[in-house]
Chain A
Amino acid sequence: MRSDADDSADQLLSEVGRDRDKRQRATLWPARLVSVLGVFAALSGVLGTASLVWGRVWMINGPDHPRELDSLPQLLQFEQPGDATMTVLDLPAWVRFLAAAPGLAQALMLAAAAFLLMRVLIEIADGRSFGAEVQRGLGRIGWLLVVGSFIVLALDVLALWRIEVEIWAFADAVRNDGGVTSTGIGTELPRILWLPLALGFVAFALRWAFKDGARLEKDAEGVI
């Protein structure tokens, strides 16, 4: 025969089960979405890099042709030297890679952050919100986004400087061959990833908040 205590225990277990289901619905779907976005970020970074290093535009129905210089992420505008045509293929392969490096670094950083975030969300879904793994994960996301954002900025500045050097060297070569040069370039501002940077600092703050939460949870253990 069932006692009142059994019924109360059943009711409590049922409430706990409902809470767990709600929590899992609210965290596992975002975790899956984040992992898919992470894969897309990594793929787009790799494909963008490959396209720039290859120096050609993939055509679906027609011959591939060299990429224009102003298709480089660092350039807004490029006026061809009067008597010659300069394309991305006229840059050394390592400079093309350097031009693509900030985009690649950004994509890999976002993919890694997505992977870490997915792990954090899974921990929360499993009811270990204030566990050490969540705190570690948030700390890693913070470092990744803050340091990664500065690395992307540094790579972009470096690429911009090197591309300018190559363009002016090309223009000088045209002039030395007796050609007329009227090269002009417009550059992008170095990319400052303010949103990932801000999210990195938010992750650091959350890490401390979760650390406080863990302490409170420990304090509340056994409180009736």
Chain B
Amino acid sequence: MSSDEVPEHRVVCHLDRLLEERGMTLAALAEATGITVVNLSVLKNDRGRAIRFTTLTAICDVLGCTPGDLFSVRPR
């Protein structure tokens, strides 16, 4: 693998399910956390490559969940 290639990850984000369980929209979460809708959408659709601890903390605070609820690793 060259240094330019990005390794595939198997992390799956469950933001859509958590939002649905809480009856919350992406825009409302964006408003509450201060994270842009665009970034939240990237996260929700598993297109993100990394997440800052500050972002994770803000989402978990608003949704009342833990990082383990938000993410899981897909089996090989």
A4 touches B31 (CB 8 A): yes
B65 within 8 A of A: no
Interface of A is mostly: helix
Q: In this complex, what residue of B is CB-closest to A8?
A: B37
A223–B38 touching, CB < 8 Å: no
> Is the CB of A12 closer than 8 A to any CB of chain B?
yes
Closest to B40 in A: A224
Number of interface residues of A (CB under 8 A): 12
Given contacts A223-B51, A223-B52, contact A4 B27 (CB under 8 A): yes
Closest to B43 in A: A224
CB distance from B50 to the nearest CB of A (A): 4
Interface of B is mostly: helix
Contact pick for B49, options A4, A5, A223, CB 8 Å: A223
Report if A222 contacts B (CB, 8 A).
Answer: yes
Q: Quick check: A224 and B27 within 8 Å, CB to CB?
A: no
CB atoms of B39 and A224 under 8 A apart? yes
The yes or no answer to B47 lying at the interface (CB within 8 A) is: yes
- The answer to whether A5 touches B50, judged by C-beta atoms less than 8 angstroms apart, is no
A173 at the interface (CB under 8 A from B): no
For residue A9, CB closer than 8 A to chain B, the reply is yes
A176 within 8 A of B: no
Inter-chain contacts of A9 with B (CB < 8 A)? 37-38
The reply to whether A224 and B51 form a contact with Cβ atoms under 8 Å apart is yes
Interface CB pairs A-B, < 8 A, 24:
A3-B25, A3-B27, A4-B27, A4-B28, A4-B30, A4-B31, A5-B25, A5-B26, A5-B27, A8-B27, A8-B37, A12-B36, A218-B4, A222-B42, A222-B49, A222-B50, A223-B50, A223-B51, A224-B35, A224-B39, A224-B42, A224-B43, A224-B50, A224-B51
Spell out A's residues near B (CB within 8 Å). Answer: 3-5, 7-9, 12, 218, 221-224
Ranked nearest first, the 3 interchain pairs of A and B with the lowest CB-CB distance are A222-B49, A4-B27, A5-B27
